[in-house]
Amino acid sequence: MDRIFEFLKKQPPGRLITLGFAIVIFLGAFLLLLPVSVKEGATVTPVDALFTSTSAVCVTGLIAVDTADHFTVFGQAVVAALIQIGGLGVTSVGIGFILATGRRVGIRGRMMVKEALNVDSFKGMVRLVRAILLMTLCFESAGVILSFIVFSRDYAPLHALWISIFHSVAAFNNSGFDILGGLRNLIPYQDNVLLNLTTCGLIIFGGIGFLVMIDVAKCRCFKKLTLHSKVVLSTTAVLLLAGTLLLKATEDITWLGAFFHSVSARTAGFSTYPIGELTNAGLFVLIVLMFIGASPGSTGGGIKTTTFFALMQEVRSVFSKNYPGAFKRRLSDKIIGKAYIITLLSMLVVCAGTLILCISEPETEFIKLLFEVVSAFGTVGLSTGITPDLSDFSKIVIVLIMFTGRLGAFTLFSIWVEKPESGFRYTEESVTIG
């Protein structure tokens, strides 16, 4: 045991975070297989339990079995807990428990928080975690109250309260799980303005990132915000508007439905219309939105809004012969380079996953398989309805894609690469591009 602890102490924070997520996933799968978690008469295989646990921890929302129809209240509570842990991050939850017991957070814990939240400084790590936990409690409590107003009309008070709690946790953590049963998601409430807007609000605030919310609360003026916050807020607004207009133009849905799915496709996974009935044009719009995803330091996935923004600014700079940047600030070459790497690695993961599924599921349409893979990688959870019918092998592939998408392809690949000890460099030589 001492050797194990000594080994773990030598590992970089990124590897420990990855290991922490993996442990929580397998523990969740074990709990979901217990008789107390499964409803009488329902069947949950080990692969389905692992799939559900991974989807919950990775705050995706893809389901191999319906959560309400197969799991008891205890099993549903396990799923909700996994969503909460996955959304906040294993590190933030662990630090929260340390603070609750009155113990001091050491330098190792602060390093892991810095790595998990992708911040540049160790300054104020404990205050940051406290603020994150407080904001989560406030937003989810507000979501419970507003959701209860809607669900209490159709369910008994205690049942409506539990649905509201589960829904609020899932929405704020950008996970598309629901416990309404029958694989319906929120389709019965597609015209309910209060529930639609409440869900959208939770998704947006959970998706813009905790650092942005703290910055907005502190500055309360767009001009005083950091460049990161300005980029996140402006890019989010543009994507929401563009997604709404494109979905309304390509599908026969209401403006409320178009706005809801433009929001939900940014890593949430809730749906008020059957996704499998959308046109190829509508599915492609959702694929693009899912691939871009939410923002850094949030509960969502995808390549992130800041990565997309950096790429667009680099494209603009090439044609305008000007430096890449915005809001009177310039983006460094290092940021642009990282954006390219993240996008390239993400595309490789999506292409490889889609190819494997095309081989293992030859009878399924290509657009649906691509949609499923992007949804898994972006930790979205939207599905055309093919997930429950996938083979066990295909489900394992989706599990690996969800895990990669939650941690980030760049992070997952880079933490296993050792830095070269030699400091010498080779002579540069030109290569013709394009």
Nearest-angstrom CA–CA distance, 61 and 376: 9
Of 162, 167, 165, whose CA–CA distance to 195 is shortest?
167
Nearest-angstrom CA–CA distance, 303 and 291: 6
Nearest-angstrom CA–CA distance, 294 and 303: 8
Beta bridge partners of residue 326, listed in sequence order: 329
Asked if residue 357 is part of any domain, the answer here is yes
Helix (H, G, I), strand (E, B) or coil at 433: coil
Burial class (CB in 10 A: 0-12, 13-18, 19+), 122: exposed
Q: Is the dihedral of CA 296, 302, 306, 311 positive or negative?
A: positive
Nearest-angstrom CA–CA distance, 282 and 298: 26
Nearest-angstrom CA–CA distance, 273 and 253: 8
Number of domains within the chain:
1
**DSSP 8-state assignment for residue 329:** E
Asked if residue 425 is part of any domain, the answer here is no
Q: Is the distance from CB of 114 to CB of 122 less than 8 angstroms?
A: yes
43-70 core/surface letters (b: 16 or more CB in 10 A; e: else): ebeebbbbbbbbbbbbbbbbbbbbbbeb
**DSSP 8-state assignment for residue 331:** P
Per-residue pLDDT of the chain (434 residues; tens, 9 = 90+): 556 556 555 666 667 777 778 888 999 999 999 999 998 888 889 999 999 999 988 888 888 888 888 999 999 999 999 998 887 765 566 555 555 555 565 555 566 555 555 555 556 666 777 778 888 888 899 999 999 999 999 999 999 999 999 999 999 888 888 898 888 888 999 999 999 999 999 998 888 877 888 888 888 788 888 888 888 899 999 999 999 999 999 998 999 999 999 999 887 888 999 998 899 999 999 999 999 988 887 767 788 888 998 888 888 888 887 888 778 888 888 888 888 888 998 999 999 999 999 999 999 999 999 999 999 998 888 888 888 888 989 999 999 998 888 877 666 666 665 555 555 666 777 676 66
- Start-to-end CA distance of the chain, whole Å, equals 55
Asked if residue 241 is part of any domain, the answer here is yes
Nearest-angstrom CA–CA distance, 96 and 104: 11
Nearest-angstrom CA–CA distance, 286 and 388: 21
Q: Is the distance from CB of 286 to CB of 371 less than 8 angstroms?
A: yes
Joined tokens for residue 58 = 């990775």
Of 195, 201, 206, whose CA–CA distance to 136 is shortest?
206
| pLDDT at residue number 388 | 86
123 CB neighbour count, 10 Å cutoff: 10
Instruction: Quickly tell me which residue has 């996140």 as its tokens.
Output: 232
Nearest-angstrom CA–CA distance, 412 and 223: 35
Nearest-angstrom CA–CA distance, 286 and 262: 7
| pLDDT at residue number 117 | 59
Asked if residue 270 is part of any domain, the answer here is yes
Asked if residue 422 is part of any domain, the answer here is no
Of 345, 332, 290, 396, whose CA–CA distance to 51 is shortest?
396
Nearest-angstrom CA–CA distance, 271 and 187: 6
Domain range for 62: 2-414
Of 112, 113, 152, whose CA–CA distance to 130 is shortest?
113
Asked if residue 430 is part of any domain, the answer here is no
Asked if residue 247 is part of any domain, the answer here is yes
pTM of the model: 0.85
Query: Quick one: how many helices (H) and strands (E) in the chain?
Result: 19, 2
Asked if residue 423 is part of any domain, the answer here is no
